[in-house]
Structure 1
Amino acid sequence: MDTVLLQIKNDKAYKLIQDLEALSIVKILGKDNKPKENLHKRFRSFLNLTDEEFQQSVIDGRGNSNNS
Structure 2
Amino acid sequence: METLLIQLTNQKAIGLLHEMEALNLIKLLDEPISENQSFSEKYAGKLPSAVADDLQNYVTASRKEWSD
TM-score, structure 2 as length reference:
0.48
TM-score, structure 1 as length reference:
0.48
